[in-house]
Structure formats: C-alpha cells, structure tokens
C-alpha cells in the first residue's frame, strides 16, 4: 500500500464511461472513485483539490492526497462549488506550460490547450509528487501525442529538480 492517501476521484454520474479517460484506472489500489451527486466527502484534512486556482503543486505537497473532479467543464465547476464552498480545502494548480493532446469539442473551456484531460492532469500530478505514474497512460489513446507535446518537462525525474 502506498505511503500517501488514496487519490479521490469525484466523477459525475452522467460522465460517459466509454469516453472517460480515467475508466482504465478504476481498479488502481491508490485511487478511490466516488459518484456525484450523492457522495459524502469527509476527513479531507491532508488532501489538496486539483484545479486552475491556487498555487502550483510543490514539493511540500508530496505526502498529501489528491482530489480530482471528473466531469465536463460546466459540471466540474458546479461540482466543485457544491462540494467545497465553505469547506477548508487547499487548492493546487498544475504548471501552466503543460498542454493537452485531448481533442476539445467543448466551447466552455477558457483555455482549451491547457484544459487537460483528467488522466493527463492526474499523470502530471503524480509525476510532480513522485508517485508511480508509468502505467497511468497505458490505455490513453492520445498518450504519445501528450508525451511528445510535453517532452521537455517529462524528461526530468521531477519538474522542480
């Protein structure tokens, strides 16, 4: 068992599992999937919420758990507001110089190049936090394109080293 809290993935019940980039990792031992609405999130003291807001992930975050919201851009913002407004939760963002390979069709993403697919965001967070990440992208259709677009960043063991 890992020495860090399980990654908590909050997935909208209407998320299309056939298109969901996280579906191939549903059985990972270091991840726990919950369905929104209807989930209750408790004891999040040692967790960070990944998003566009907050300071970038840093070396100080290595031992913390990750919360990742999985849904369309519009649904994800509603989910975040309903689940975390008024709660004490640390927000973290990913570096701005990472670009998606996922073909965007949504008009409500403010910056489509930086709006990472859920599996891409999780991969980056795991790399930054020195967690096992090699198998995260195994079943991701745009894996090679994503790694090529971000080759200079992923060639280092940790981005901040």
What would the DSSP string read from start to end of 89-148? -EEEB--TT----S----TT-S-TTT---HHHHHHHHHHHTT---TTTTTT-TTHHHHHH
Mean pLDDT of 22-28: 91
Spatial contact of 74 and 115, defined as CB atoms under 8 Å apart? no
User: What pLDDT score was predicted for residue 94?
Assistant: 92
What is the bridge-based pairing of β-strands 47-50 and 65-70? parallel
* pTM for the predicted model, two decimal places: 0.87
In what helix (H) or strand (E) does residue 75 lie, and over which residues does it extend?
helix 73-84
DSSP per-residue codes, 40-73: -----TTEEEESSSSSBP-GGGTTSEEEEEES-H
ω into 37 cis (within 30 of 0): yes
pLDDT tier for residue 104 given thresholds of 50, 70 and 90: low
Mean pLDDT of 138-156: 88
pLDDT tier for residue 49 given thresholds of 50, 70 and 90: very high
Mean pLDDT of 137-145: 93
Mean pLDDT of 17-35: 89
- Enumerate the domain spans of the chain: 7-154
For the beta carbon of residue 10, count every other beta carbon within 10 angstroms. 23
């Amino acid at each position: 068992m890992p020495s860090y809290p399980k990654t908590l993935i909050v997935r909208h019940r209407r998320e299309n599992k056939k298109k969901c980039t996280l579906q191939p990792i549903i059985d990972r031992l270091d991840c726990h999937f919950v369905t929104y609405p209807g989930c209750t999130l408790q004891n999040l003291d040692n967790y960070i919420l990944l998003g566009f807001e907050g300071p970038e992930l840093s070396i100080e975050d290595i031992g913390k758990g990750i919360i990742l919201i999985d849904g369309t851009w519009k649904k994800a913002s509603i989910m975040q507001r309903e689940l975390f407004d008024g709660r004490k939760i640390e927000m973290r963002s990913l570096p701005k110089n990472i670009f998606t390979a996922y073909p965007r069709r949504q008009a409500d993403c403010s910056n489509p190049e930086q709006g990472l697919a859920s599996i891409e965001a999780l991969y980056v967070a795991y790399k930054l936090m020195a967690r096992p990440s090699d198998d995260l992208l195994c079943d991701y259709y745009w894996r090679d394109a994503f790694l090529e677009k971000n080759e200079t960043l992923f060639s280092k063991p940790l981005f901040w080293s």
